[in-house]
Amino acid sequence: MNMTIEQIHDSASAAADNIASSPARQAFRILQFGFTVAPILAGLDKFFHLLVNWDQYLPGVMARMSPVQPHALMLVVGVIEIVAGIGVALRPRIFAHIVAAWLALIIINLLLIPGYFDVALRDFGLLLGALALARLSQQFSRS
């Protein structure tokens, strides 16, 4: 069976369309968008406190152990989150794992503060989403 260049092109184009519209690829893009935007917004808000006073999420034991002031430490956290969000946009294969690890640290941090167990549970769900993004990026990300 001989195929013309046009038939090969049409076949390849149809295959690419199927991959691009697959539910798994769509899930990858949704998770990539979410794990890009959310960390960037949360990181920026560490500087402006429009969503919440982020300093309240720093346990006293961590504040006492830190060589810098609690608010300055939260500003560093904000920068890390912004970098993580940009990283997920550019290199999800790597940064989805970094975001998952960061969320694990946040969960441990929240478990040290009485009254924030519900937030820790929510962040556990986010950690699972970051791991799902990491797995999907193995197939759908070139970087």
Number of residues written out for the chain: 143
pLDDT value of residue 40: 98
Looking at residues 16-23, what average pLDDT do you find? 71
pTM to 2 decimal places: 0.83
Q: Which of 16, 68, 77 is nearest to 45 (CA)?
A: 77
Listed by start position, the domains of the chain span 5-140
Q: Is the dihedral of CA 113, 119, 124, 129 positive or negative?
A: negative
pLDDT in tens, 75-125: 999 999 999 999 999 999 999 999 999 999 999 999 999 999 999 999 999
